[in-house]
């Protein structure tokens, strides 16, 4: 009787092992996990950044030169994750160049640029707003402030991090480019100071 019971248990275990699906290789799991990252949650990593910089606001020290010899007007200069890796916090502001709240926030940041010693500031608009960008920059006189990196999202960054609440949205990333805080709408400079280095 005991032998029969042991045999039944062994057969049941063997059937369970045969019925199991083979595990996926580790690389597929990693790719799947990467696709499932919620970039909107504090502590999450910053998604890949690629911003087509507006030509009059380019910080020449951060811009990568094209290997092809083209006229300057035809060159497209992008800001990427590597360009904002400076061991300091990073402010990324999603904005609409036709939005009055966004203009007010840009003016507030511009008027407090003396606080931004190491912290970098990237302003990015949706690609559909490209035609309105020059007027926004001129109205705010942002061409006078090379610390502002202003351009058009070219990596679907906004869709990954935008909370679909109010513009502007400011995401603040730490030295390791992990999300610390997200602000929507106009934010008092006193709230931002604690994150500025």
Predicted pLDDT of residue 28: 46
- CA atoms within 13 A of residue 46's CA, in its CB half-sphere: 26
pLDDT of residue 17: 47
- In percent, the amount of the chain with pLDDT more than 70 equals 72
pLDDT at 106 over 80: yes
- What is the pLDDT, as a whole number, of residue 147? 83
Looking at every residue in the chain, the average pLDDT score rounds to 82
Top-level CATH class of 38-65+72-193? alpha beta
| Residue 41 or 16, more confident | 41
**Of 4-13, 30-39, 161-170, which one has max mean pLDDT?**
161-170
Over residues 136-185, the pLDDT tens digits come to 999 999 888 888 899 999 999 999 999 988 999 999 999 999 999 999 99
**The pLDDT value given to residue 66:** 42
């Amino acid at each position: 009787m005991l032998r029969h019971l042991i045999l039944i248990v062994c057969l049941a275990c063997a059937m369970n092992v045969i019925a199991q699906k083979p595990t996926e290789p580790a690389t597929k799991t990693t790719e799947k996990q990467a696709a499932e990252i919620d970039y909107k949650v504090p502590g999450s990593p910053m998604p890949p950044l690629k911003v087509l910089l507006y030509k009059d606001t380019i910080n020449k020290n951060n811009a990568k030169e094209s290997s092809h010899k083209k006229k300057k007007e035809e060159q497209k200069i992008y800001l990427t994750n590597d360009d904002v890796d400076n061991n300091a916090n990073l402010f990324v502001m999603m904005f609409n160049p036709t939005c009055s709240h966004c203009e007010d926030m840009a003016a507030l940041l511009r008027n407090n640029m003396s606080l931004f010693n190491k912290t970098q500031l990237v302003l990015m608009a949706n690609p559909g707003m490209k035609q309105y960008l020059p007027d926004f920059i001129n109205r705010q006189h942002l061409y006078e402030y090379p610390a502002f990196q202003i351009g058009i999202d070219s990596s679907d960054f906004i869709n990954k991090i935008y909370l679909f609440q109010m513009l502007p949205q400011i995401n603040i990333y730490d030295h390791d480019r992990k999300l610390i805080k997200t602000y929507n709408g106009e934010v008092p400079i006193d709230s931002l100071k604690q994150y500025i280095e």
